[in-house]
Chains A and B, each alone.
Chain A
């Protein structure tokens, strides 16, 4: 039972434009959400997080939006750069234990 879903397996965006990656979850107990970026042959690297007490968190070119009523979060990358091409995973946690539920990932390709 996939509690965190990323319904778009892949996304292509032109360099300089906005990339929007989406994530849906089913468990209303989730209160902490993260985005990870993964290059081939490397482990995921932390990108940005958001607590359920917020609806937006920004870090440079990366912004995460959380819509709790819709159980939806999104990652915006503006402007997109070729180096952003990677697989992006969203993850959610319901408690203070390190048990994160991950989505299946979205492969982002930024076209120069």
Chain B
């Protein structure tokens, strides 16, 4: 079955602009999470959406926002871009964590490489 699809793969933006990244989860997966990966920081959790509702949120400023649509596709938006926002943004999907830890395996997309200049 198709994996997690993230678009675009690469993006270059200038400071102050805004950007929207898209994630299509694996068919049937209802949970979508977003992570930011920067050198030396590992993967930092941004937020998680389940059934169109934000269920968890990481420690990022309000410039980072997201949403999930009824088909489980998710978008992430970053407004007023800063140089430090340059990173690999990864989306992960999973079935439904409320059923227990056996279903908590998350499948990642290839990521969107955002460069802010």
Are B45's CB and A46's CB within 8 A?
no
- Answer whether residue A45 sits at the interface, using C-beta atoms and an 8 A cutoff: yes
Residues of B within 8 A of A51 (CB): 101
- Answer whether residue B109 sits at the interface, using C-beta atoms and an 8 A cutoff: yes
Query: Nearest Cβ in chain A — how far from B27, in angstroms?
Result: 17
> Interface range on chain A: under 10, 10 to 19, 20 to 34, or 35 or more?
20 to 34
Are B42's CB and A97's CB within 8 A?
no
Residues of A within 8 A of B41 (CB): 104
Q: Is the interface of B mostly helix, strand, loop or mixed?
A: strand
Residues of A within 8 A of B6 (CB): 43
Are A100's CB and B101's CB within 8 A?
no
Return 17 A-B CB contacts under 8 Å, by A number: A4-B42, A34-B105, A43-B90, A43-B108, A44-B90, A49-B104, A49-B105, A89-B43, A97-B56, A98-B92, A98-B106, A99-B48, A99-B56, A99-B58, A100-B45, A102-B43, A104-B41
**Could you list which residues of chain B lie within 8 angstroms of chain A, going by C-beta atoms?**
4, 6, 31, 33, 35, 40-45, 48, 50, 55-56, 58, 90, 92, 94, 97-98, 100-101, 104-111
**Could you list which residues of chain A lie within 8 angstroms of chain B, going by C-beta atoms?**
2, 4, 6, 31-32, 34, 36, 41-46, 49, 51, 89, 91, 93, 96-105
